[in-house]
Amino acid sequence: MTAASTEAKIPRARRSKSEMILRELRKAPLTAWFGMIVVAAYVFVALFAPWIAPYGESEVVSDEPFALWSSEFLFGTDQLGRDLFSRMIYAARNSMGIAFAATAVAFLTGGLIGIVSALLRGWFDQLASRLVDAVMAIPSLIFALMVLAIFEQPTILNIILVIGLVDATRVFRLTRAVAMNVVALDFVEAARLRGEKTPWIVLREIVPNIMPPLVTEFGLRYCFVFLTISSLSFLGLGMQPPTADWGLMVKETATLITYGDITPLLPAGAIALLTVAINFIVDWFLHKTSGLRDGQ
């Protein structure tokens, strides 16, 4: 085989893979398309928030607190006279970005320890499993509240680390369970007999074979983390003012509900819409990777 024929096969393989992805996207149900469009819109708003928002994140633009909706202030103003529409846009960046970072921490720690536990077994597996059992005995929101209450004013880094490490226990359980099935297969044993090191076995043999359930869990875990951070912000131990966050915005405008103003429902609706959209995508991906066929 010549070098030219080898180089010709590489673009062809990439093209066939791209065509396969496009073909699967065309066959995706309306719910999955709805989820992808919503998530893409949220990501676009989060990335370009400074150019989309008419005012700054913490800029006081009105002398009137809780101003009514108008052409100047699309969603009115908050208790300090800040534009709520602008804060809604900036909150997309803050809420989604911090939730993504916390979920990544959970998967990097919990996933890695879960795979190593399944591979090594013995005392390491027993120690890691018992520590995870102890942490999981406490409800995650209560545990996060306890830890964050230690700090005088929780920072973004504290929130990411605390939520990430708390949710790492759930990721550990799933990763260990699916990795156990792969570790018992012949090709992993063959890699051990060849003398391959543990990092090579983990990255080349185990991780590629457990990616579908992990990707699905990442989407679901992201929703849980996102809701947890919003709940902490609503309770006063999450994002701190003047940072814009949807959970914090619900808290700051909650009194308007008593006057028949639906403004607090806007950030709450943004949270709910993103959660539903991600779940639609996860359901479709889980269906595609489970091997089931439509109609079964």
Q: pLDDT at residue 4 above 70?
A: no
pLDDT at residue 17 greater than cutoff 90: no
pLDDT higher than threshold 50 for residue 7: no
Tell me which residue range forms the domain holding 231: 65-289
Task: Report pLDDT digits (tens) over 18-34.
Answer: 676 677 677 778 888 99
The pTM (predicted TM-score) of the whole model is: 0.85
Would you say residue 219 lies in a domain?
yes
Instruction: Among 11-15, 40-44, 59-63, 204-208, name the most confident range.
Output: 40-44
83 DSSP β-pair partners: 77
For residue 12, the model assigns a pLDDT of 58
pLDDT of residue 102 exceeding 90: yes
Is residue 54, in this structure, part of any structural domain at all?
A: no
Q: What is the CA radius of gyration of the chain?
A: 23
Q: Using an 8 Å Cβ cutoff, are 280 and 287 in contact? A: no
Domain annotation covers residue 31: no
How many domains is the chain partitioned into structurally?
Answer: 1
Phi, psi values for residue 102, rounded to 5°:
-65, -40
Q: Is residue 52 part of a domain?
A: no
Buried b (16+ CB within 10 A) or exposed e, 6-19: eeeeeeeeeeeeee
pLDDT of 186 higher than 90:
no
Q: Which of 216, 218, 284 is nearest to 30 (CA)?
A: 284
pLDDT in tens, 56-68: 888 888 888 888 8
pLDDT at 142 over 90: no
- The answer to whether residue 133 scores a pLDDT higher than 80 is yes
Residues sharing a CB contact under 8 Å with residue 138, sequence separation 6 or more, in sequence order:
146
Whether residue 108 lies inside any domain: the answer is yes
pLDDT of residue 292: 46
Please say whether the beta carbons of 268 and 250 come within 8 A.
yes
11 located within any domain: no
Choose between 258 and 267: higher pLDDT: 267
For the chain, the distance separating the N- and C-terminal CA atoms, rounded to the nearest angstrom, is: 45
Share the mean pLDDT of the chain. 84
- The CATH number covering residue 257 comes to 1.10.3720.10
Helix (H, G, I), strand (E, B) or coil at 77: strand
Q: How many Cβ atoms sit within 10 Å of the Cβ of residue 25?
A: 11
263-290 pLDDT, tens per residue?
889 999 999 999 999 999 988 888 777 6
Q: Which helix (H) or strand (E) holds 178?
A: helix 156-183
- For residue 82, is it within any domain? yes
Would you say residue 158 lies in a domain?
yes
